[in-house]
Amino acid sequence: MSTFLGITTDDQGRKHAMEPCLEPCPIERGMRVLGGKWKGSILWHLKDGPVRFNDLARQLGGASKKMVTQRLRELEEAGLVTREVVSDRPIAVVYKITDFGKTTLDFLETLKHWVEKHQI
């Protein structure tokens, strides 16, 4: 019976992971919330104040409206942004980053720095 780097080999030579990420590890769970395509960008674009739906879609240029809607719904569900109908007739909706959403900005900034530093 031996152990090396989190892998156990039993007396029959069978190997087993000691701490398998059976249920996804923190990094993976985090990526599922923030790693979806466009999610980071949306949060980043909301950091300076509320933005209306179409303005957001335009700034994200490259993401279709459907994608933007879909990501916004997910971010809303995760409590990172809120949707607010500002006026009916003519309809106007703004999306705002929540206080909780703002806690991700550190992380996004780290990513941005990394990308810029290494010319990704």
Partner DNA sequence: ATACCTGGTTACTAAAAGTAAACTGGTTGA
Partner DNA sequence: TCAACCAGTTTACTTTTAGTAACCAGGTAT
65, 84, 100, 102: which one binds its own copies (CB under 8 A): 100
Does 51 engage in binding with its own copies (CB under 8 A)? yes
Q: How far is CA 6 from CA 3, 27, 98, in A?
A: 7, 18, 39
Tokens 């007739």 found at: 89
Does 49 engage in binding with DNA (CB under 7 A)? no
Does 29 engage in binding with DNA (CB under 7 A)? no
Q: Which entry of DNA, its own copies, none binds 1, CB below 5 to 8 A by partner kind? A: none
Distance CA 95, CA 47 (A): 11
11, 88, 99, 116: which one binds its own copies (CB under 8 A): 116
Q: Of all helices (H) and strands (E), which one includes residue 54?
A: helix 53-59
9 or 113: CB nearest DNA: 9
Does 114 engage in binding with its own copies (CB under 8 A)? yes
Distance CA 79, CA 82 (A): 7
Distance CA 28, CA 52 (A): 31
Beta carbons within 10 angstroms of residue 15's beta carbon: 10
Chain residues that interact with its own copies, rule: CB under 8 A = 5-7, 15-17, 19-31, 33-38, 40-41, 44, 48-49, 51, 54-55, 58-62, 100, 103-104, 106-108, 110-112, 114-118, 120
